Amino acid sequence: MNPALSLRKFVLGTGLVVLLLLPILATVAGDPYLITLFSRILIYALAAVSLDLIIGYGGMVSLGHAAFVGIGAYVVGILAFHMQDGSALASWPFELQSSNAVLVVWPAAILISASMAALIGAVSLRTRGMQFIMITLAFAQMLFYLAVSLEVYGGDDGISLWSRNELPLIDLGDDRAFYYICLICLLIFLYLSDRLVFSRFGRVVRGAKVNELRMQSLGFPTYRYKLVCFSIAGAGAGLAGVLMANQSEFVSPSLLHWTHSGELIVMVLLGGMGTLIGPVLGAAAMLLMEEVLSAYTEHWMVFLGPFLIFVVLFAKRGIYGWLSGTGVESE
Amino acid sequence: MLTLQGVEAFYGSSQVLFGVDLQLEAGSVTTLLGRNGMGKTSVVRAIMGILPVHAGVIRFAGREIQLMPSYSIARLGIGMVPEGRQIFPNLTLRENLLAAAANYSGSSEPYDLDHVLTIFPKLGDRLSHFGNQLSGGEQQMLAVARALMINPRVLILDEATEGLAPLIRAEIWRGLNILKQKGQTILVIDKNLDVLLRIADHHHIIENGRVVWSGSSARLAADDALQERYLGV
């Protein structure tokens, strides 16, 4: 067997076993905080993987991805607010009551995030390069200030949730159960993303990344393909936002801020762009560094900077490329 | 099958095509000849909807296509092998071919992966290699094979053998001969006049953005003065 391939399988297999056993290991070690920390890593990994779909495979460098994370989180927060308040979510043209059920709230949040991504993408994808970066940033900042201005929903202070969403038979209030839900969400999204990237749709998006005109000359309306890809990434980010809101039981405008988008980009770059697994490693590396280094100094980013430079200069395709010996795709 | 009438086009404020008239018959191999910078590639780009047409009409299969987007033109059945190959370096050879797979001509025996590999068997050994891991010749064969994968009614080759070693060039011409025998309509832009005189049925010579001569292989072969004046042969 190809040594690089077997190393890759070893890395993936070991990582999966560790993630599956983590709640047990944390309980045995008497450190339940690890469950919370790794839940957070899984959620950020989900957001970073969704960003990798558009940056790594589609060449769409968005500086507004956190907006979709924030939208997903705010759907959870707003519905929770109305549940706590006892007020209707809408009273016209018909009365719409709020819900706290996972089966209602989560699909709604994902759908709204994907729809907003489609709307923003429809405009943004008419530009490219620096213009695309700036227009996605502008949309995200518009949504950030919209969230700040929503005084009924806490404005700058955000919304505190009384409890996590409710799922039949499973108590999401239990951190271990919630951890496994996060893991399942990430694995499903990774699987679907992998299928997508290597499907005909994915080939068109990947081809358009390097030569859009050529792909059009082969009969593909690349704008539509990229828009669908952008919307799927928005849906993934929305799901990450749903999980973030549930984990912290708090939603605030900072989730939509452009610096949050920047963090997601760093995770993708650190882990390995265009690899899907890389962003998971990038999210883990960044959050673990934050966790460890912030115990010593609040300026932990000072250490992240040189590490990022080292990875970009010496590790082809980020941490993933370094661990597996190669990348999955030759650029 | 494909007709250009009075086509004019600009790059910015510079006019490059000055009323180009050109016709392609179904099942024929037609060439567009001329020295560098005379507008050959601009004609192809205008046909494919890449270069906007300011005046004139391009008709294909009974439809005016000069205002259509590039992907719609391709879907009507015009396949192009562009100058400089332009294969997708981040896709494997197999993915390059499968990404393009379609049957825009509605052929009852469409080209598929296996079929194009019989025309360019050398590609069969390199299916899992990425585009940027292929030699120039392999990239060129891939570019032709990829254009065939859309099953075009008209195949346009723009400088398909430029910069290739003679053996590889011969491989490309061999592939084109197979296509010709199958009745594929082809428009070729190339500088290898000797081969083109053998393969092609009709020729158009373009000079300063205008078609200045059209005729058969026999007429072109017999006119040394014409070749010297417009082709520098």
Per-residue pLDDT reduced to its tens digit, A201-216 = 999 999 999 999 999 9
Scan residues 272-331 of A and list those with Cβ closer than 8 Å to B: 329-331
Whether residue A271 has pLDDT greater than 90: yes
pLDDT band at A5 (very low <50, low <70, confident <90, very high): low
Tell me which of A113 and B165 has the higher pLDDT: A113
**What's the domain range around A78?**
3-324
CATH for B2-231? Answer: 3.40.50.300
Q: Which two tokens stand for residue B132?
A: 């940027």
pLDDT value for B224: 87
Q: Identify residue A15 by its one-letter amino acid code.
A: G
Q: A127 CB near a chain B CB, below 8 Å?
A: no
pLDDT band at A331 (very low <50, low <70, confident <90, very high): very low
Phi/psi of residue B111, each to 5°?
A: -70, 130
pLDDT value for A316: 73
d(CA B29, CA B40): 16
pLDDT band at A327 (very low <50, low <70, confident <90, very high): very low
Helices (H), chain A: 3-29, 33-52, 66-85, 102-124, 129-149, 175-197, 200-210, 212-217, 222-248, 258-271, 277-293, 301-314, 318-324
- Mean of the pLDDT values across residues A295-323? 83
Backbone torsion region of residue A165, taken as left when φ is above 0, otherwise alpha when ψ lies between -120 and 50, otherwise beta: beta
Tell if the CB–CB gap between B74 and A219 is shorter than 8 Å: yes
**Mind telling me how many Å the CA of B130 is from chain A's nearest CA?**
7
Instruction: Give the number of domains in chain A.
Output: 1
* Chain B residues in contact with A221 (beta carbon < 8 A): 69, 71
CA A207 to chain centre: 24
Mutation choice for A interface testing from B48, B68, B70 by most A CBs within 10 A: B70
pLDDT band at A314 (very low <50, low <70, confident <90, very high): confident
End-to-end, the C-alpha distance of chain A in Å comes to 23
Whether residue A315 has pLDDT greater than 80: no
Across chain A, what does the average pLDDT equal? 92
* Chain A residues in contact with B147 (beta carbon < 8 A): 218
pLDDT value for A3: 62
Q: Is residue A329 situated within a structural domain?
A: no
A154-172: pLDDT as tens digits: 999 999 999 999 999 999 9
% of chain A exceeding 70 in pLDDT:
96
Residue B145 has, within 13 A of its CA and on its CB side, a CA count of 29
d(CA A209, CA A113): 24
Q: A223 CB near a chain B CB, below 8 Å?
A: no
Q: Which two tokens stand for residue A51?
A: 């960003």
**Residue ranges of chain B with pLDDT lower than 50?**
none
* Chain A residues in contact with B75 (beta carbon < 8 A): 219
Q: A219 CB near a chain B CB, below 8 Å?
A: yes
pLDDT value for A89: 87
Tell if the CB–CB gap between B70 and A206 is shorter than 8 Å: no
* Chain A residues in contact with B104 (beta carbon < 8 A): 219
End-to-end, the C-alpha distance of chain B in Å comes to 30
Tell me which of A239 and A9 has the higher pLDDT: A239
Whether residue A183 has pLDDT greater than 90: yes
Q: Is residue A331 situated within a structural domain?
A: no
Whether residue A298 has pLDDT greater than 60: yes
Enter the DSSP assignment of A238: H
d(CA A20, CA A176): 11
Q: Is residue A150 situated within a structural domain?
A: yes
Q: Is residue A317 situated within a structural domain?
A: yes
Whether residue A326 has pLDDT greater than 70: no
d(CA A170, CA A99): 17
ipTM surpasses cut 0.95: no
Q: In degrees to the nearest 10, what's the CA dihedral of A225, A227, A232, A238?
A: 170
pLDDT value for A1: 53
* Nearest CA-CA partner of B72 in A228, A120, A224: A224
Q: Which of B95, B102, B133 sits opposite A219 (nearest CB)?
A: B102
d(CA A243, CA A72): 9
Whichever domain contains A10, its CATH number is 1.10.3470
Q: Which two tokens stand for residue B170?
A: 């011969």
Mutation choice for B interface testing from A218, A273, A331 by most B CBs within 10 A: A218
C-alpha radius of gyration, chain A, whole number: 20
Tell if the CB–CB gap between A216 and B95 is shorter than 8 Å: no
Q: Do A269 and A51 meet the contact criterion of CB atoms below 8 Å apart?
A: no
Tell if the CB–CB gap between A330 and B90 is shorter than 8 Å: yes
* Chain A residues in contact with B130 (beta carbon < 8 A): 329-330
* Nearest CA-CA partner of B157 in B170, B135, B172, B136: B172
- Mean of the pLDDT values across residues A314-319? 81
Q: Which residue in A has a C-alpha nearest to residue B75's C-alpha?
A: A219
How many CB pairs lie under 8 A apart between chains A and B? 71
CA A309 to chain centre: 23
Enter the DSSP assignment of B52: P
Q: Which of B95, B132, B150 sits opposite A203 (nearest CB)?
A: B95
Within 10 A of A281 (CB to CB), how many other CB atoms are there?
23
**Mind telling me how many Å the CA of B55 is from chain A's nearest CA?**
22
Least confident interval from A249-263, A305-319, B42-56: A305-319
